[in-house]
Amino acid sequence: MNLQHPVYTELAKCRDCYKCVRHCPVKAIRVEKDRAAVIPEECIACGHCVAVCPVGAKRVRSDLARVRRLLRDAGGPVVASLAPSYAAEFPGVPAPVLIQALKRLGFAGVSETALGAQDVSAAVAVELRDPTPRVLLSSACPAVVELVLKHAPQHAERITSLCSPLLAHCRRLKREISADTRIVFIGPCIAKKLEADAHPDLLEAALTFADLREWLEAEQILLDDLTPAAAAAFIPRAAEEGALYPVDGGMIAGIRAGCACTDAEFMTFSGLDTLREALAELGAMPLQRPLFLELLACAGGCINGPCVRTRGATVLKRHRVLEQAPRPAAAVPRPAELDVFLPRRAAVPAGLPPEPHSRAVADALAAVGKYRAEDELNCGGCGYAGCRDFAAAMAAQKAEKAMCVSYMRKLAQKKANALIKAMPSGVVIADDTLNVVECNRRFAGLLGDDALRDFDARPGLEGAPLAGIAPFLLPYFTHVLRGGEDVLRRNARHAGRVFQFSVFTVEKARIAGAILRDITEPAVQKEQVVRQARAVIRKNLATVQKIAYLLGENAAESQASLNDIITSFAPEPEAPEDNATE
């Protein structure tokens, strides 16, 4: 099945702010023609870009229509696998109410994904009884698995070759209910959609909590108004310690009772930045026994997944999950009774950027005007941590020159300077303090030798008071800056010359500019004479054309009148004589 990647860009909405680039932990964004598109081969479906996009251009693929068709057309039972983080997402909503709502949507039953988590915990506990010193990484979080396989492939062999809790749950449901049971996941995670795409034999589709809320609203099902039926219970039974998985440390809590501290060490890390730091340190770890790392992509665990209603409030959410999770009736971990092993996935490293000091990076830096170390501002405006990271992305064709703020600013300034310098008229730009921001040499030359010497000593005369250079312009600049006309055209005398100038707004109430010329110069006078002569000629031609039109119209009318008179007074023609026939 050809499915769209779970995270994509609605290009028409993208506003080239580069916020997604800035927040993507793996820089799986390619900017082309000022639009930021997700690179599926590098994306780990963590949802960071979706959360931070200010205009909603980053979207999550909706599988809601597919699930509705499945409920309508499926030949066997369709069961919802509900993530245990529902306790934090729907506070105050008892489980039987949520089950009843899902049944009204058409599901044959609702089961807890946490049942699969208990199977995974049991399998991990068995694996950790092998005392061989080694590092084992949990496979529970699909975003973490994508992170390791694509961006830290040197650790790929350390991922346990086990199903995720969701896929383990699918196996259990197909074994305990029926082999033709169709399963739909509902939870806070985007990366679960990748699991559904990769394992259609086990998982039909993955919906987010946002999808579920949309669906309930469309069907006008209000959770507060529902009264659960007596049969509203999880199938085939309720989970116990597996319900702790949505909080960091919850997986370890389901394993550790069966493994003494002397058997293995346990650590838990959540949040992608923290995970990457932890993975970077693994190579230097001295080990005397197995080390198991529980890794969750979202800070605080699944309770802060990318598609929860509100992110944060971790303490309160954690409390809700802990309160709702029942105490296990049996010893923890449970005996491993289900095969939860999967063939180990091979690492698929994303394309690595060029080395920071490679020729390709140097060429990319030069393309944005950075030739020396001091040129590298590392401002982060492009979304990358530093100029060399940005240059490496350019070399890998993931970034464009226009993303560099300092380069674009310099480019705009160069264009403006070139235009100002090339203009035959004098040009000056001043700020609201009436100090010069920029002017061309022609402007200084019009104002005399002193101004020209000052300009040659300090090109542009930046910061010079306008009052000391061109005092006659002050009242007009003041008028425009204080909200007068946007363009003011005037003539003024100064130092024996007559200047014709226009003062205009550049940035309202902050910056104004003026273009002026000396109309007493011979060349200007000649130009004015020529222009005025042409105006007179145009006016005369227009007058002649009008007279000719009137004369022509009058002549035509006169001719028509005379023809009428002639016709009226002309003698009638004599009738021809008839020739009689004898």
Kindly give the confidence (pLDDT) of every residue in the chain, 582 residues in length, as a single tens digit, with 9 standing for 90 and above.
Answer: 457 899 999 988 998 889 999 999 999 999 988 899 999 999 999 999 999 999 999 999 999 999 999 999 877 899 999 999 999 999 989 999 999 999 999 999 999 999 999 999 999 998 998 889 999 999 999 999 999 999 999 999 999 999 999 999 999 999 999 999 999 999 999 999 999 999 999 999 999 999 999 999 999 999 988 988 777 899 999 999 999 999 999 899 888 754 444 467 899 999 999 999 999 998 777 888 999 999 999 999 999 999 998 877 789 898 889 888 887 766 777 788 888 998 878 888 887 777 878 899 999 999 999 999 888 999 988 999 999 999 999 999 999 999 998 899 888 888 887 888 888 899 999 999 999 999 999 999 999 899 999 999 988 898 999 999 999 999 999 999 998 788 999 999 888 889 999 999 999 999 999 999 998 866 544 555 555 566 666 776 776 677 666 666 666 666 666 566 566 555 655 555 544 443
168, amino acid identity: A
What residue segments make up the domains of the chain, in order of their start? 1-61, 62-324, 354-408, 423-522
Strands 487-494 and 497-507 turn out to be: antiparallel
DSSP helix, strand, coil percent of the chain (3-state; round to 5): 45, 15, 40
User: Dihedral of CA 442/447/449/450: which sign?
Assistant: negative
Looking at domain 1-61, which of 3.30.70.20, 3.90.780.10, 3.40.50.1820, 3.30.565.10 is its CATH number?
A: 3.30.70.20
**Residue 261: per-residue pLDDT:** 43
**Residue 579: per-residue pLDDT:** 47
Looking at domain 423-522, which of 3.40.50.300, 1.20.1260.10, 1.10.760.10, 3.30.450.20 is its CATH number?
A: 3.30.450.20
**Residue 85: per-residue pLDDT:** 95
Q: Are 242 and 84 in contact (CB under 8 A)?
A: yes
**Residue 553: per-residue pLDDT:** 60
CA distance 44 to 7: 9
CA distance 248 to 505: 58
Residues composing the chain: 582
CA distance 315 to 303: 10
pTM: 0.75
Query: CB 281: neighbour CB atoms within 10 A?
Result: 8
**φ/ψ (deg, to 5) at 44:** -110, 5
**Residue 459: per-residue pLDDT:** 86
CA distance 9 to 29: 10
